[in-house]
Amino acid sequence: MTTTFPSSETTRHPSPRCTSNRNTPISHTWRKEGDGGGPGAGRRLRCVADEKKRRPLPATGWAVLGLLSFGQELSGYDLKKWSDRSLRFFYWSPSFSQIYSELGRLEKAGYASSRLVAQESGTREKRVYRITEEGMAAVREWARETPADPTVLKHGPMLRLWLGHLLDPGRLRELLVKQQEFAEGMRLAAAADAADALDDPAWAYPTLTLRWAERYYASEGALAAAMLDDLAGLEDRGPGGR
């Protein structure tokens, strides 16, 4: 029979060598193996995930919990506003329905708590959410120990360009010009949000991501301009591009 080690009490140990295959922080129990009387009795330790402690969250759940980790009480509207001013530049901005769905999941998991507060306008009360100590520990462990997914690029304009033999050149130019305009708009928005966040020490790291976004969308605009030049060269060479 398996017994706990080193005593009858469970020992929690966040060892990086004992991890879950899921993107979920888990509790760990160190147990002694081989206590059934065999030759290897008591000689090895086995790390067993405590299934009851697992609280699987989708990526959106971790994003919402991450927004709460900055320490403020936030409403669903606040969370949407904050995600639009940060997350959307490098990941995505969840919809209101996704945010409220994840808030319910976070409360059920014990990662967030909520309360109703009066609004200054005198209208009906609003519900605000705050991260719990357990939630802070969970998102910290997730950020530290869960491998980051590799970047996956899904580029709509490039998919159309790939199918350029099915479109006329004018349509392709229109798509690339719109991509330039989109990239410039995103670059300006990221720059403005980064400037607004400079005076808030809590947003030091999000500001770095906004600066990255400013550079990224500048390069995206430059790539679209280069593709317009390539497209013009292809047209000059005539049918078949040769």
Residue 3 binned pLDDT confidence (cut-offs 50, 70, 90): very low
Q: Give the model's pLDDT for residue 28.
A: 38
**23-37, 48-62, 100-114, 118-132: which has the highest mean pLDDT?**
100-114
Q: How far is Cα 119 from Cα 125, in angstroms, rounded to an integer?
A: 6
Residue 221 has pLDDT above 90, yes or no: yes
- Say if pTM beats, i.e. exceeds, 0.75: no
Q: What are the helix (H) ranges across 72-132?
A: 76-84, 96-109
Q: What is the pLDDT of residues 20-41, one digit of tens each?
A: 334 444 443 333 334 444 444 3
> pLDDT of 172-199, one tens digit each?
999 999 999 999 999 999 999 999 988 8
DSSP 45-72: EEEEE-GGG-----HHHHHHHHHHTTS-
Report domain extents, the chain.
12-54, 59-145, 156-241
Both tokens assigned to 19: 């991890």
**Mean pLDDT for the chain?**
80
**pLDDT tier for residue 67 given thresholds of 50, 70 and 90:** very high
103 has a pLDDT exceeding 80: yes
pLDDT the model gives residue 124: 85
81 and 39 in contact (C-beta within 8 Å)?
A: no
C-alpha closest to that of 54 among 117, 138, 112: 138
Virtual torsion, Cα 153, 157, 161, 163, nearest 10 deg: 80
**Fold of the domain built from segment(s) 59-145:** Arc Repressor Mutant, subunit A (1.10.10)
Residue 235's pLDDT is what?
86
